[in-house]
């Protein structure tokens, strides 16, 4: 799954990296090392009017356009790749409104083998370049609220030791097809994250502070290895 992640790169850097225009209207709130459900996040999507990639700010937790209110947003932060084409909340967005969700990496918690409680881990590229999650976007209400969900899939490679699910992380070679609203057969876009990409991810033990959504800052993603927790791997 993906219930918490970090996103510290600036809009300026993301605009260059994803060859996008700025559609945030200056609303970006800055680096967030502890992104939680319903938080504002940055996404890259394709504008329908001119097919230009745009960096936009959205709320994490998809609200379908037909929903009577926003109360279910926190329960739709993730969409399973296996059912995204069937579920009414996601199938329309999957067909035409796909996006990328830039991130530094994501967190998972594993029950400790050496005692009570859970150990937090941060999955991120060793080289610090960040990742792009496969996402879907919708607009809801007036004024229009942009919302997003992150696709999850079965874990691959060493990530299976942390959790049986993982966000669908896309390599750069798949960005263009994922963002194309006219792609003829979207079901072909749901291939798992390549194992070669997974091998470039560090599984980094971090401190318990990330468990509280009020905590933020780069210290949350710093390695805190006490030996016992890392022995799980």
Q: What is the pLDDT of residue 232?
A: 54
What is d(CA 7, CA 30) in angstroms, rounded to the nearest whole number?
9
Distances (CA, A) of 91 to 65, 81, 109: 12, 11, 29
Q: What angle do CA 134, 73, 204 make, to 5 degrees?
A: 50
Cβ pair 103, 132 in contact under 8 A: yes
Can you tell me the distance from the alpha carbon of 156 to that of 169, in angstroms, rounded to the nearest whole number? Answer: 11
151-187 pLDDT, tens digit each: 999 999 999 999 999 999 999 999 999 999 999 999 9
- Beta strands 5-7 and 105-111: pairing type? antiparallel
- Structural domain of 82: 5-232
Cβ–Cβ under 8 Å, residues 195 and 175: no
Contact 80, 152 (CB under 8 A): yes
> Could you tell me the CATH number of the domain that includes residue 180?
3.90.1680.10
Instruction: Give the torsion sign (CA, 109, 163, 41, 63).
Output: negative
Is pLDDT above 60 for 219?
yes
**How many domains is the chain built from?**
1
Task: Encode pLDDT of 57-111 as tens digits.
Answer: 999 999 999 999 999 999 999 999 999 999 999 999 999 999 999 999 999 999 9
């Amino acid at each position: 799954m993906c219930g918490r992640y970090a996103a510290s790169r600036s809009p300026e850097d993301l605009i260059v990296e994803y060859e996008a225009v700025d559609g945030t209207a200056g609303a970006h709130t800055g680096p967030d090392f502890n992104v939680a459900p319903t938080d504002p996040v940055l996404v890259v999507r394709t504008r329908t009017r001119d097919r230009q990639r745009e960096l936009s700010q959205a709320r994490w937790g998809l609200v379908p356009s037909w929903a009577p209110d926003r109360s279910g947003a926190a329960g739709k932060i993730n969409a399973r790749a296996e059912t995204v084409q069937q579920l009414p909340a996601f199938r329309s967005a999957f067909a035409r409104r796909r996006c990328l969700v830039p991130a530094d990496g994501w967190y998972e918690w594993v029950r400790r083998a050496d005692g009570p409680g859970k150990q937090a881990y941060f999955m991120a590229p060793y080289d610090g370049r960040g990742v792009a999650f496969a996402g879907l976007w919708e607009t809801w209400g007036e004024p229009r609220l942009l919302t997003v969900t992150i696709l999850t899939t079965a874990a691959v490679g060493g990530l299976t030791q942390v959790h049986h699910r993982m966000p669908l992380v896309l390599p750069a070679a798949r960005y263009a097809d994922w963002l194309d609203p006219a792609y003829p057969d979207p079901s072909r876009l749901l291939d798992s994250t390549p194992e070669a990409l997974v091998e470039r991810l560090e599984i980094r033990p971090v401190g318990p502070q990330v468990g509280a959504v009020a905590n933020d800052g780069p210290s949350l993603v710093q390695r805190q290895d006490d030996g016992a927790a890392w022995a799980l791997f």
